[in-house]
Amino acid sequence: MGGGAAFAIIGVFKIANDWLPYRYFSLLAGLTTALGMLGAIAGEQALSSLFVTQGIGKTAIYAIVFSACLAFFMFFILKDKASKHLPHEKKLKNEVNNIFKIICQIAQNRQVIINSILGMLMYLPTDVFGVLWGVSFIQKTYHLTIHQSSSYSSWLFIGWIAGGPLMGYLSEKLQRRKIILQVSAFLSMLCAAILIWVTFDHLVMLTLMNFLLGFFSSAQILVFAVANDLAPDEYCATSIALTNFIISISGFIQPVVGFIIQYTSSFHPHHTITAHDYQLALSILPASLLLAFMISFALKETHCLKHQLHLDTKT
């Protein structure tokens, strides 16, 4: 499932690079991510209700049918842009022969790696808190039901929906990417620290902090625009894919958080897990965002322009 889904965002960005004016790339990246977050909200709300009323089997069938219909329409609507370089067959053969060589050349660029690590660190709150541990943390800290906790946690994704397109628009308007990433990493760090370590008397503050954490974290979509800035047009998808690969490493932090919770709870009577155990484990998030803020100073500003890497593509 992960292997199949990996093509989705790369394909969208490649189509955007081929068919739209370059100045719209970061805006489209924000819109794409915002729509993706709608899926996350559906997963927490709509799908959880379907699981209860229809069962997992029927819900899976609905998802399969919807995906098949989507694939059918994509087959007839989406079109590749004609290549200006080589005939399709020859180009494909050359790409297969050179793929690892090109990936290695892109990976050797320091800015690509810095940008990718920055994206990974800024995505951690969403991947760790929003996707997995946020609901359990809220449930344990505020003594709420799973459904109530997921409702509050989903505001992080709503923050992404609001922030993603805005961050993309601001980037193009200001012709800056670095400063937006820097400010957002710092503000995300503050929001994460407050959300984890402050227990609110009024749950409206819990909603607000989840929203703001998602809103400022959504600037992470600009790392895909930077990856596109750094690569030649014909290899923009490869550069973005490499960036996405490094960002996906953030998923390995999820079990680390679980291990810390389990370890700290082992010191309690009957191994009871407390809200403080969650706080200690989830402190990884503000720490990672602080590191992201520090790393962002090493990222060079591209001014939303192509700064193409020199790639040796000869076979």
pLDDT 10s digits, 47-64: 777 777 888 888 889 889
270-299: b or e for each residue (b if 16 or more CB lie within 10 Å)? eeebebebbbbbbbbbbebbbbbbebbeeb
pLDDT at 11: 86
Reported pTM = 0.86
Task: Tell me the per-residue pLDDT of 199-258, one tens digit each, with 9 for 90 and over.
Answer: 999 999 999 999 999 999 999 999 999 999 998 877 888 899 999 999 999 989 999 999
Residue 134 has pLDDT above 60, yes or no: yes
Contact by Cβ (8 Å): 97, 315: yes
Please list, in sequence order, all residues whose beta carbon lies within 8 angstroms of the beta carbon of residue 151, skipping any fewer than 6 positions away: 45
The mean-pLDDT minimum among 26-35, 130-139, 173-182 falls in 26-35
Residue 98 has pLDDT above 80, yes or no: no
Rounded distance between C-alpha atoms, residue 275 and residue 175, angstroms = 43
Confidence bin at 95 (pLDDT 50/70/90): low
Task: Tell me the per-residue pLDDT of 182-209, one tens digit each, with 9 for 90 and over.
Answer: 999 999 999 999 999 999 999 999 999 9
Residue 43 has pLDDT above 70, yes or no: no
Contact by Cβ (8 Å): 235, 40: no
* List of domains in the chain: 2-44+92-298 (1.20.1250.20)
Residue 315 has pLDDT above 50, yes or no: no
